Amino acid sequence: MLTVMQRACGGSPSYSEFRNTEEILSSYPLCFLTPMLFLSCLPDYLSFGEVDTNTSVKFCLSSPHRLFDGQTPIFVITDPETIKNVLVKECFSVFTNRQNFFPVGIMSKSIPLAKDEEWKRYRALLSPTFTSGNLKEMFPVIEQYGDILVKYLRQEAEKGKPVAVKDVLGAYSMDVIISTSFGVNVDSLNNPEDPIVENAKKVLRFDYFDPLSLSVALFPFLTPIYEMLNICVFPKDSIEFFKKFVDRMAENHLDSKQKHRVDFIYLMMEAYNNSKDKDSHKALSEIEITAQSIIFIFAGYETTSSILSFTVYSLATHPDIQKKLQEEIDEALPNKASPTYDTVMAMEYLDMVLNETLRLYPITNRLQRVCKKDVEINGIYIPKGSRVMIPSYVLHHDPQHWPEPEEFQPERFSKENKGSIDPYVYLPFGNGPRNCIGMRFALMNMKLALIKVLQNFSFQPCKETQIPLKLSRELLLQPVKPIVLKVVPRDAVITGA
């Protein structure tokens, strides 16, 4: 879910270049919105696939569409074969990169913001960190935070008050990501002033409507100027904090002769220190390791906590599905036994429930790629420098692919049914070489949290629960109002406390 980092905005060509592009595109069968020179179709674009689901789906699917961001054409595609061409077949030759818009400083060296050969190198170096073997070694660390989550929910349940689930699940998500990234134990629920937690939260306070971001949105040519002046959208003090933290970890790693617990920085350090040539482009530098570590926090926190929140909301509003999932958990783990990696990954109904949540509420509700050269795909001419946008939310709610798309039906992803799902109309983690590199880790993390919680509690709607859930017009899919639920202990004996 690292696509969180790409805001869909871009450069602004000259007026003459813009009119030439207009003349070429006007000869192709596209439905499009004509922009003003600087202000673009931004209001239409920002509302795509959000809030009014029926209107968005009908508009998006009626024909190929072209919008503008500034004067950059954005091609909206929903045809599965065309999506496959963009994400897979032409990924390396034409649609390799995502759009980098804001001045990001050292974060340009993170895997979602890197381009071309640099991105390929990062992908090759980072992919081994997400193997099953490494995830199994991280499993006990994540389980520890599942136990803390259960203990906290028990305390809240005893108060008899409804719980704002995003706050609680967000703390769990933060603790897991920091611990598995940096190898340190934190407890953001009970110790929110921990320096590493405070700096992680600063990184997450990313405001797309602050003066710096708005200035770049209106005048894209300012981005390289800001970069030269070392002006960055990320807080400098937090970036510096994590740089020093990684430096200290590197020194400790070199000095330590003891077996180190597996975390992402440790795995990246191992690759760095085991390299025969430290100056080789094949090894990650400490700056690059810092960038990847920060991006794990930025990309992982919001997505994990939001998906978990949408999942427990869906279970609370569908008690029959919640009961069926609890029965699967109880059967696989009798007497509230501790889960193992293999047991978690083998639970079929849990997988179905999570997949259906990701379909109904895709957190990153659109994917984008930049066109590196003029190309024609399935009769659509896409000029160099333009962007392709794939509206995941719209695809996930298309009745042509999903009967009764607004209904929460985990059976869509049963063994019997999932084989008929087109992989290019279900894109919660993207697809192709630039899909979410942390997908397996994210799924393991969320499944373990759900197991721990559902072993001990049931979720129920309360008077503060918004039904049906209304979604807001933000970059990431969010409810208009916080999800508030009643947490009910299943019995008097609560594990993980």
What Cα–Cα distance (Å) separates residue 274 from each residue in 7, 47, 259, 283, 291? Answer: 36, 48, 15, 9, 20
Predicted confidence (pLDDT) per residue in 290-323, tens digit: 999 999 988 889 899 999 999 999 999 999 999 9
Mean pLDDT (whole number) for 447-457: 98
d(CA 416, CA 405): 18
**pLDDT over 70 at 6, yes or no:** no
Domains of the chain: 2-489 (1.10.630.10)
d(CA 111, CA 438): 11
Question: Any binding-site annotation on 232?
Answer: no
d(CA 429, CA 441): 12
- pLDDT given at position 65: 61
- Helix (H) or strand (E) run with residue 31 in it: strand 31-32
**pLDDT over 90 at 484, yes or no:** yes
**pLDDT over 70 at 284, yes or no:** yes
For the chain, helix, strand, coil in percent to 5 are 50, 10, 40
Give the length of the chain: 497
- pLDDT given at position 378: 87
Which among 300, 302, 297 is positioned nearest to 196, based on CA atoms?
Answer: 297
Contact 405, 62 (CB under 8 A): no
Contact 159, 176 (CB under 8 A): no
Residue 158 CB neighbours (<10 A): 11
pLDDT band at 145 (very low <50, low <70, confident <90, very high): very high
